[in-house]
Structure 1
Amino acid sequence: MEKQLQIGILGFGTVGSGVLRILKHHEPKLNQMTGVSLKVKKVLVRDILKNRGTIADGIELTLDADEIVNDPEIDIIVEVMGSIDQAKKYIEKALIAGKHVVTANKDLMALHGNELVALAKENRCDLYYEASVAGGIPILRTIVDSLASDEIQKVFGIVNGTTNFILSKMTNEGKSYDQALKEAQELGFAESDPTNDVDGIDAARKMVILTRLAFGMNVEVDQIETKGIRDLQQEDIEIADKLGYKIKLIGSAIQIKNKVSVDVGPILVPINHPLASVQNENNAIFVVGAAVGETMYYGPGAGELPTANSVVSDVITVAKNIRLGTSGNVFSSYQHETKLARDTEVNNKYYIAIEMQDKTGQFLALTKLFSQFDIGFDQIIQQPLSSDMAKVVIVTHKINKAQQKEMVSALKEVNEMNLLVCFKVMEGK
């Protein structure tokens, strides 16, 4: 007789209902693929009386997570509730109780992933989290499985759909940041408090996970230089376009001499680069390997069914491991001593926008300031702002991060010059 595996789901929001929908609608296929029967027994909800239609038929709803975590008949816990502290507590209880865990919780895995991985190993339980990065794109499994034999050199791309939606609206429709954010909120792409998205925090947490799996290095969120898009002006998007670039919020992790440099921020992407054409809420991630070269993974970074699909893929893996007696796996056991690249080892071109008085000698003073730090100009644009003020945009030659920081610090000390933004510029393909 076919073995039955019982599943408990923590959370019945967008992703939770999507997981249940896929498990029910694709049941014959999933049973055939895993060799077992997958059944959802209990789901944690906030409101038992809410009408959920036929999707909840035959499933026990509960307000108490412990009823799921402590149920001896439940084999797999799916955590899609979205908090950090509560979710961590329930996952710890589940692992200690010998239950396998699948989570979509990027914040939890970025901040506490190492200790949860250790706890899973200790209790010989599976812990998978494909859906925590890039929604429906199977990027983590690709890095860990498909590219396991390669030496990954760089992982970079658009890993936050909210900011990409906002930047798409600003670029394609000429909307201001505030107008684009309002539309994103109305369509449900942005929260009422968009801080995590627009300040780059969400992207930085995803880069923690990608860096851990790609390079075996445990970089903390506060070690990632993170900039958001709040300061971005429509003018910058227009100037970037004239220079042949689109502005995107990019997360980047690069290996430099057995060290890693990780950052998140707006970057000028060459107009002919595939990332420049990624629109709205979609994500796109490049992985560069020594053997395979440059590969790109594109798709929906969020949403009910794309994210739920990644969750169920993990459930399938757990079910196969249980059937084969190979449980006790995490995504990757690859570890490497964590070393951060020094600022002098990280090189980029930069886009710098400065507001300054439009008078004789000012540009000479600016040139002298840049030459102080051995920084040359690749492109320069000057636009009048008023009768006595001008906006000067400079694209530098390639410099290291130490030079860039010294220059930015010096600019802030000059009374007649106001630094507006300083963004990285991606090299052309």
Structure 2
Amino acid sequence: MDKKEKQLRIGLAGLGNVGAGVYKNLEKNQSLLCERIGTELVVKKVAVRDLSRKRDVAVPSDKLTTDWKELIDDPEIDIIVELIGGVDEAHELIVAALNANKAVVTGNKAVLAEKGKELIELSEKQNSPLYCEAAVAGGIPIIKAVKEALIGNRITSIFGIINGTSNYILTRMTTAGITFEEALKEATQKGFAEADPSLDINGWDAGHKAIILGWLSYGHWLRPEEVSVIGIEDISLEDVSFAKELGYEIKLLGVIRQAEEDPRIEVRVSPTLIPNGHILSSVDGVFNAVAVHGDVVGETLFYGSGAGQDATSSAVISDLADAAENIHNDVGCTGFIPKGDFGTALPLNETLSQYYLRLSVADRPGVLAEIADITGKNNVGILSVIQPEPDSSSKHIPLVLLLHDASYGTVQNALSSILGLESVEAKHTLLRVETLKS
């Protein structure tokens, strides 16, 4: 067979924003792809929930179905692309496709974070490859980088801004001085936030991605309940302003790392103060960036559009191209794919970082000394202090402390004692500060 006569047929499950982008861009660049990979990629059938819905792309009616099982049962379809979202039905679809010995491409970070161990084991058992580049950081090829380009490295740390919606909101709060609520409304109006943005702003979209990166980097899955995830809902303009004064930007940061002689894995996501001098602090708007440190290569940085129709469909099409090459060469997925047993998470109380602590305290002498006495007894050092000029109309004033490296548990113990002081109100803000050193 002539190189250009090869053809692979695709079953596309889901024609939402990303699915429409995949269909559109496959049609647009079909000849270019065929020239580059030697295979024509043809969408044979598309599963949708509602046949009558108006769509951004025109798909012939004879290609549409409301039953994704038709894609699985069609012997002519070689690759299933799962873009229906959610966990339960997507899991059922992927399992059915792998059992039918079809290659699967998915951009579903939630199903991988919750069911990844089972799916990877089934993929290996059935010799049916599972591709997931689009599940993390959209158009940034971070999964391929970790499992292929950096295969000769022990990954010492990954720091990532891996949710575009939250990054847009925090950027607007920082640069425009608007509130969280105003920035979220603006993001929704511009199409940067979903109709239901809860997974973006509560941190779990990034949390799912961090779990996947932890598996790829260290060969073990962590259960979602073992991962600390804090969203950005409670970030105030006051905290943004104080962070600026201290020389930091607040970003929703994913942290993935493992100490060299410790089998436990640290995976967490939280609003974090990042020093202005670090390149991640300048990643603004809907852009994503992932800093990966390897013991051989040193620090590398991956930057680009982390979400959106075209960025994510680019990652899906990259996986389709890999799948086409591997199918015709009769091999499974290329690059290192860890089997991924369940690993052990580093307990939250043992995780180390610096901290930003904003308190509301009585406007009287001696309060800082009382607080410093408590932090000292808990072996938590104070790096710097901000004490704004008191407002004559208020009995309480903000007090901001930047704390030395300490375990989360130690800081919580100290904080509990501080909040027990009569001079300190219960309302407070505690954020991590990362120097971003491996």
Instruction: Judge conservation of contact 1:117–1:330 (CA < 8 Å) in 2.
Output: no
* 1:267 maps onto 2:272 in alignment: yes
User: Are 2:218 and 1:210 equivalent residues in the alignment?
Assistant: no
**Structure 2 residue 396 is matched with structure 1 residue 389:** yes
Q: Assess if the C-alpha contact under 8 Å between 2:383 and 2:403 holds in 1.
A: yes
- Pairwise CA distance, 1:52: 4.4
Q: Measure, in 1, the Cα distance between the counterparts of 2:184 and 2:394.
A: 32
Provide closer, same or farther for how the CA distance between residues 329 and 111 of structure 1 changes in structure 2, counting only shifts above 3 A.
Answer: farther
Q: Does 1:317 align with 2:325?
A: no
Aligned length: 429
Q: What is the distance in 2 between the residues matched to 1:306 and 1:331?
A: 24
Structure 1 residue matching 2:249: 3-state secondary structure: strand
Query: Does 1:71 find its partner at 2:78?
Result: no
Say whether 1:174 aligns with 2:177. Answer: yes
Q: Which residue of 2 is the match for residue 405 of structure 1?
A: 412
Match of 2:380 in 1: 375
C-alpha change, 1:31 and 1:274, in structure 2 (3 Å) is same
| In 2, Cα distance between equivalents of 1:35 and 1:234 | 54
- The alignment partner of 1:248 has SS state of strand
| In 1: Cα distance, 2:88 partner to 2:227 partner | 22
The equivalent of 1:420 in structure 2 is 428
Deviation of 1:49 (Å):
3.3
Rounded to whole Å, the distance in 1 between the matches of 2:432 and 2:275 is 12
Shift, 1:274, TM fit: 0.7
The alignment partner of 2:40 has SS state of strand
- Aligned match for 1:25, one of 19, 24, 28: 28
Structure 1 segment 72-221 matched on structure 2, within 5 A: 72-221=75-224
| C-alpha separation in 2, matches of 1:13 and 1:211 | 28
Instruction: Judge which range, 174-183 or 15-24, deviates more.
Output: 15-24
Instruction: Give the match's secondary structure for 1:287.
Output: strand
Once the two structures are superposed, what CA deviation does each residue of 1:250-277 show, in whole Å capped at 9, x if it has no partner?
A: 0001211333212111111111111111
Q: Deviations over 1:194-230 (max 9, x none)?
A: 2211111111111000000011121122111111111
Which secondary structure state, in structure 1, belongs to the residue aligned with residue 78 of structure 2? strand
Contact 2:20–2:56 at 8 Å: present in 1 too? no
Distance 1:295 1:133, change over 3 A: same
Question: For the residues of structure 1 that align with 2:335 and 2:128, how far apart are their CA atoms?
Answer: 8
| Partner in structure 2 of residue 289 of structure 1 | 294
**Alpha carbons 1:124, 1:328 under 8 Å: kept:** no
Instruction: State whether structure 2 residue 360 is matched by structure 1 residue 355.
Output: yes
Which deviates more from structure 2 when the two are superposed, residues 22-31 or residues 278-287? 22-31
Q: Residue 62 of structure 1 corresponds to which residue in structure 2?
A: 65
Mark the CA change 1:188 to 1:337 in structure 2 (over 3 Å): closer, same or farther. Answer: closer
Superposed CA RMSD in Å reads 2.0
Question: TM-score normalized by structure 2?
Answer: 0.93
Closer, same or farther: CA 231–30 of 1 in aligned 2, 3 Å: same
1:364-417, Cα deviation, whole Å (9 max, x unpaired): 221222112011111101123543111100001222223112123333433432
The amino acid of 1:389's aligned partner reads: H
Cα shift at 1:419:
4.5
State how far apart, in whole Å, the 2-side matches of 1:328 and 1:190 are. 33
Partners of 2:78 and 2:381 in 1: how far apart?
A: 61
Identity %: 38
Q: CA deviation at 1:50?
A: 3.9
The one of 303, 307, 312 aligned to 1:298: 303
What is the aligned partner in structure 1 of residue 346 from structure 2? Answer: 341
- 1:415 & 1:142 partners in 2: Cα distance? 53
The DSSP-based 3-state class of the residue aligned with 1:56 is coil
Alpha-carbon distance between aligned partners in 2 of 1:170 and 1:143, rounded to the nearest angstrom: 32
Q: Do the aligned residues in 1 keep the contact of 2:117 with 2:340 (CA within 8 Å)?
A: no
Q: 1:15 is matched with which residue?
A: 18
Say which SS state the counterpart of residue 320 (structure 1) adopts. helix
Which stretch shifts more, 284-293 or 254-263? 254-263
Show structure 2 runs of 5+ residues with no match: none
